[in-house]
Amino acid sequence: MKIATRISKLPKYVGGKPIDELQRELGIDRPIKLASNENPNGPSPKSLEALSKSILDVASYPDGDSYHLKRKICEKENILPNQIVIGNGSNEILELISHAFIEKDDEVIMGEYCFIVYPIVAMLSEARIIRSKMPNMTHDIQDIIDLVSDNTKVIFIANPNNPTGTKVPKEEIYKLLDSIPSNILVVVDEAYCEYLIKNQRMDVSKDLTKWKNLVIVKTFSKIYGLAGLRIGFAMGDNEIIDKIQKPREPFNVNSLAQSAAVAAMDDEEHLEKSFQMNISGMLFLKTEIVKMGLKIYPSHANFILLDFGCPAKNIYEELLKRGVIVRPLENYNLPNCLRITVGTQDENERFIAGLKEVLGVLR
């Protein structure tokens, strides 16, 4: 049977190799995974407690409106429930945005090195993808402004950016919003914003009041440590959110994810511990990598981008043989780079030791 043309053209999403897959393939004992930007500190103890309680209710359908979670987000961000849509991971939110707003031959602007889900959802809607320049792996806001045309429908910006880890000052995003027509939707993906210091993050309530064409997307998969439960959300003007809600399927977010997310937002101590752990781990990795004379880009997330100046596939494969899973970036048009999640101190040390050994062998 012939596959739909728009589907056949989609790039394949290749996630980080699962630990048990590596164990099956190579029989590796105690492998470590530094490939998917998960929180090495794990989920909040409060989330685990909430899960143990809510699991008793799994015979019932979840709350299709995520009432309690929306109100918890309202408390934190000072917005209203009708300004929030909850998704099965922020990936679903991105897909809902595409369904709601993007039509065939619309133009969608994104960075040349961006989260691979952006081109996927744009291609599903048969849009034209316009790539903006990213000098030094960072969004060039002026270039994005210059690329805007009468056909531009949506602009995707991750800040900090995945897979590069770089950020643009929020004032640059405000400049973008002030410089384009108000009928163009600007989607700011803040999956990693909790790794920024607070005054570098967007002021959600204030910004959504000022710009009705702004949507801010967040996730519980990163610093909140709930990647396995798949839950994320978007915030925006109530009329925009209402349109994003229209293609959303009922009961799209399970009850376990909802209860764990509510509890996670109540645990500031766990967030701070994870934040500080990332700072110390990042410093260790950067220090060791600089000593090795390798090129590393500034990162404001929970991962680093390492550029070897030559195809990194062999380095990736040799690290696998040593039980270290990192992320190759060929499908991000960065074949010379590897992305490494900041792990525990033990995991970081194992990565550095493995990398030194691999480079010694390959050189």
Q: How far apart are CA 138 and CA 333, in angstroms?
A: 15
Residues 84 and 222 in one domain: yes
Residues 215 and 278 in one domain: no
Domain closes at, from 229, 247, 266: 266
255: number of Cβ within 10 Å: 18
Q: How far apart are CA 258 and CA 9, in angstroms?
A: 34
Domain of 305, CATH number, reads: 3.90.1150.10
Alpha helices, H only, the chain? 5-8, 19-26, 45-54, 67-77, 90-101, 117-124, 141-147, 170-179, 204-210, 238-245, 255-265, 268-291, 313-321, 345-362
Residues 215 and 237 in one domain: yes
197: number of Cβ within 10 Å: 9
Domain closes at, from 214, 231, 266: 266
Residues 174 and 29 in one domain: no
Residues 154 and 61 in one domain: yes
Residues 31 and 79 in one domain: no
Q: Write out pLDDT tens, residues 184-216.
A: 999 999 999 999 999 999 999 999 999 999 999
Residues 19 and 129 in one domain: no
Residues 154 and 242 in one domain: yes
Domain range for 207 is 47-266
Give backbone dihedrals phi and psi of 29, rounded to 5 degrees, phi first. Answer: -90, 130
Q: How far apart are CA 357 and CA 351, in angstroms?
A: 10
Residues 205 and 290 in one domain: no
Q: Write out pLDDT tens, residues 158-171.
A: 999 999 999 999 99
Would you say 163 and 190 are in contact if contact means Cβ atoms under 8 Å apart? no
Domain closes at, from 224, 247, 266: 266
Residues 23 and 148 in one domain: no
Q: How many independent structural domains does the chain possess?
A: 2
Residues 303 and 214 in one domain: no
Q: How far apart are CA 326 and CA 339, in angstroms?
A: 6
Question: In the numeric block, which tokens belong to residue 154?
Answer: 């949506």
Instruction: Determine the length of the chain.
Output: 363
Tens-of-pLDDT digits for all 363 residues of the chain?
Answer: 888 888 887 877 777 878 888 788 777 888 999 999 999 999 999 999 999 999 999 999 999 999 999 999 999 999 999 999 999 999 999 999 999 999 999 999 999 999 999 999 999 999 999 999 999 999 999 999 999 999 999 999 999 999 999 999 999 999 999 999 999 999 999 999 999 999 999 999 999 999 999 999 999 999 999 999 999 999 999 999 999 999 999 999 999 999 999 999 999 999 999 999 999 999 999 999 999 999 999 999 999 999 999 999 999 999 999 999 999 999 999 999 999 999 999 999 999 999 999 998 777
- Residue 297 to residues 63, 144, 160, 342, Cα–Cα distance (Å): 43, 22, 13, 14
Packing angle, helices 255-265 and 45-54, rounded to 10: 150
Domain of 245, CATH number, reads: 3.40.640.10
Question: What is the pTM assigned to this prediction?
Answer: 0.96
